[in-house]
Amino acid sequence: MNGVKRLSAPLNEKQLLNLRAGDEVSIYGVIYTARDAAHKRIYEIIKNGDKMPFDPEGQIIYYVGPTPPRPGRVIGSAGPTTSCRMDKYTPLLLEKGIKAVIGKGKRSEEIKKSFIENGAVYLVALGGAGALLSRHIVRAEVIAFEDLGPEAIYKMEVEGFPAFVCYDLYGRDLFEEGIKKYRKE
């Protein structure tokens, strides 16, 4: 670990070039949520040549379907969901300008390549730590697909949202490196 790096969303190239697999980051700014059903809809919107619900340039997508907030709260529990279910839709979104996604778990080789080709990184937040992560979400509003309930697209403002860099721009992979280091034959 090289100390925590601060990221301001939306992201620029300089911030991305500075990241290495294994870095812990702390995210500030606006991010957008989307999981399975929202991805399917965005994918169809792009394929049809229609306008996305938000401008994707430099943005971070967070794979999350939060629990409903208690009255007076910003959001309920809000940790990442398994990323590989979004693999089918990811390359197109990266081509549209998304520069990072936050999820959990490994992705296919093809997707790993797609991140590098599009100059984007894969961040992993702690799966099953939705209570802790919710404390870093200071504002949340549904901006599209309200009918999808927990799968709607939220615009979230985050402060110090913690994540780890999993795939960086240089082709390194935290999962692979970590397992190699600790595996006993």
Partner 1 sequence: MREVHWERISKAVAELFKKINYYLNEDVYNALKKSLEIEESPVGKRVLCQLLENAEIAAEERIPLCQDTGIAVVFISLGQEVIIKGKNLEDAVNIGVAEGYSEGYLRKSVVRDPIKRINTGNNTPAIIHTEIIPGDKIKITVSAKGGGSENMSAMSMLSPAAGSEGIIDFVLETVKRAGPNPCPPIIVGVGVGGNFELAPLLAKKALLRPLNEKNEDEFWRNMEDILLQKINSLGIGPQGFGGRITALKVSIETFPCHIASLPVAVNIDCHCHRHWTIEI
User: Given the DSSP bridges, would you call strands 137-144 and 121-124 parallel, antiparallel or unpaired?
Assistant: unpaired
Mark residues 136-175: x for contact with partner 1 by CB under 8 A, - for none.
Answer: ------------xxx-----------x-x---------xx
Annotate 14-56 with three-state secondary structure: HHHHCCCCCCEEEEEEEEEECCHHHHHHHHHHHHCCCCCCCCC
Contact 166, 21 (CB under 8 A): yes
Nearest approach in angstroms of CB 50 to partner 1 is 22
Nearer Cβ to partner 1 (62/100): 62
Closest CA to 125 of 141, 113, 114, 137: 137
Report the alpha-carbon distance of residue 165 to residue 73 in Å, rounded: 29
Indicate which single residue of 12, 17, 110, 179 sits in contact with partner 1 (rule: CB under 8 A).
179
Q: Which two tokens stand for residue 93?
A: 């979104």
Q: Verify binding: residue 26, partner 1, rule CB under 8 A.
A: no
Q: Which is nearer to partner 1, 10 or 66 (CB)?
A: 66
- Contacting range for partner 1; rule: CB under 8 A; set: 52-60, 66-74, 91-99, 153-161: 66-74
Binding site for partner 1 (CB under 8 A): 1, 22, 24, 37, 64-70, 73, 76-79, 81-82, 84, 104-106, 124, 126-132, 134-135, 148-150, 162, 164, 174-175, 177-184
